[in-house]
Amino acid sequence: MCAPQEQRSLCWRESAQLIFLCRGGSVVIVGSVAGFTRFPSLGPYNVSKTALLGLTKNFAAELAPKNIRVNCLAPGLIKTRFSSVLWEEKAREDFIKEAMQIRRLGKPEDCAGIVSFLCSEDASYINGETVVVGGGTPSRL
């Protein structure tokens, strides 16, 4: 049985072959600021997101000769169903906002333009990078 990261690696190799057949392209891995910052009680999640940062660097180097760019989006706290446990209660949401430089939670739209840019020709010289959309959440290893 494969570990989740091994399964992702196998999936990426197959996906890369399809992109290569199209003469190149761009892949955006969705990570998280949790890959940079410790979040209490989320140890396994934090570690898995840090692994995605490494996979981005690895696949970027491995796939560049095939004209495939690989970058990563690392969103902070984005107001989605997945993160609802962190913002459903107003008091908890207010506490989280106080810890952020930008005193609001992110919206999916905050990430969409970055992904669009990374997939565009305007980003054709960007490879192996992680773009953080985190409202000022600390984001350095």
Question: Which CATH number belongs to the domain containing residue 35 in this structure?
Answer: 3.40.50.720
pLDDT digits (tens, 9 = 90+) for 55-73: 999 999 999 999 999 999 9
Q: Is the pLDDT of residue 125 over 80?
A: yes
For residue 140, tell me if it sits in a domain: no
For residue 37, tell me if it sits in a domain: yes
For residue 108, tell me if it sits in a domain: yes
Count how many domains the chain has.
1
- pLDDT-based confidence at 21, cuts 50/70/90? low
pLDDT value for 2? 46
For residue 42, tell me if it sits in a domain: yes
C-alpha of 39 from chain center = 16
Nearest to 132 by CA among 52, 58, 59: 52
What are the distances in angstroms from CA 137 to CA 16, 24, 38, 83, 99? 32, 33, 11, 16, 8
- pLDDT-based confidence at 77, cuts 50/70/90? confident
pLDDT digits (tens, 9 = 90+) for 24-43: 889 999 999 989 888 777 78
Count of Cβ atoms closer than 10 Å to residue 64 Cβ: 14
For residue 139, tell me if it sits in a domain: no
> Alpha helices of 22-139 — where are they, by DSSP H?
43-63, 84-87, 90-98, 108-119
Taking residues 86-115, what's their average pLDDT?
Answer: 83
Residue among 13, 21, 42, 45 flagged as catalytic: 45
Write out the two tokens for 35.
Answer: 């890959």
pLDDT value for 1? 44
- Select the more confidently predicted residue: 14 or 24: 24
For residue 138, tell me if it sits in a domain: no
For residue 99, tell me if it sits in a domain: yes
Give the domain extent around 8. Answer: 4-133
Whether 125 sits among the annotated catalytic residues: the reply is no
Nearest to 1 by CA among 10, 43, 58, 31: 10
